[in-house]
A and B are shown apart, each in its own frame.
Chain A
Amino acid sequence: MKSAVLLLPGLNRDRDMIAALTRISGEPPVTVWQTETEIPDVDLIVIPGGFSYGDYLRCGAIAARMPVMEAVRKKAQAGTRILGVCNGFQILVEAGLLPGALMRNASLKFVCREVLLEVVNADTVFTGRYGKGDIIRCPVAHHDGNYFAAPDDLKRLEDRDQVVFRYAKGTNPNGSINDIAGVVNEAGNVLGMMPHPENLIEAAHGGTDGEALFAAALEIAA
């Protein structure tokens, strides 16, 4: 399956993401600049991490209003798989493609370390290669990963199994409500997550727990 990576000024995890997708799918993703209004026909669109527009106004706020995001919205509505990691997650919530908001970490500190994630919903196109309840390792690196949703929205998310990843007990790095680390939209084709699975996909990274996410999303033969 083919993939695309969005490029916006200030993102800095795009190269890691391109390397991960290339390694896992055997084919480099196409790259799409922020001013593009059309995205080529691909199966997975990834918005990588970083600090788009210097995190001005709010993280992801300016990026979410760039022309390319209208194209992402259309692709999302058509069922294309969309993955936002870290700043990519912030951009997806700012664009209204995922519910909630990502606020300053409760500690007020930038966190850069490995956490443990519980796979809460293994029944998505992104997590089908994990088992429900699996605990996987994943690095985080962010200042604004404190997920918030209003009580009604939070209940809806939980009731509809839209919480895909939670920080495993005792590893919540940012004060995120209900330990939420990643959520999917109602249709199940848009996933946003703060941790970086692209940074744990080969032995040299010290582990490969992130590989299964991309392998599932790209339907790579096991």
Chain B
Amino acid sequence: MNSIIFRTASHIVSGLMLLFSVDLFFRGHNEPGGGFIGALVAVIAFGLLMLSESPDYVRRQLKQTPLFMSLIGVVCLLVAAILPLFFGQPLLTGLWWKEILPLGTPLLFDLGVYLAVIGGVLSILLKVEEELS
């Protein structure tokens, strides 16, 4: 697309959207949001960049292939799932360290969802755009 306004604005807007996506992800446990919604916002942000620049531009900015990202996500999910087994708990039990920061395996699990969904949906989006245009 040739509109200079769109091209300039898309960088600002997608940057803001990515920030918002991270915010959605982190606050998800207590407020509306979460890994899946955050991931969709991120994908739309990248989609915007893809339309204003090119799929290749998005790939370069990402450094990793989207499928690799989703693979990392699945690894996070599996680690979060299996970790409790080492503490004598059933699979997928939430483990928490509340002393310093409210961290726990559910956060890792949600991170897995976040990365896997971004990677999965984005890879389809980029591929379709590349092959069809």
A in complex with B: no
By a beta-carbon cutoff of 8 Å, the part of chain A in contact with chain B is: none
By a beta-carbon cutoff of 8 Å, the part of chain B in contact with chain A is: none
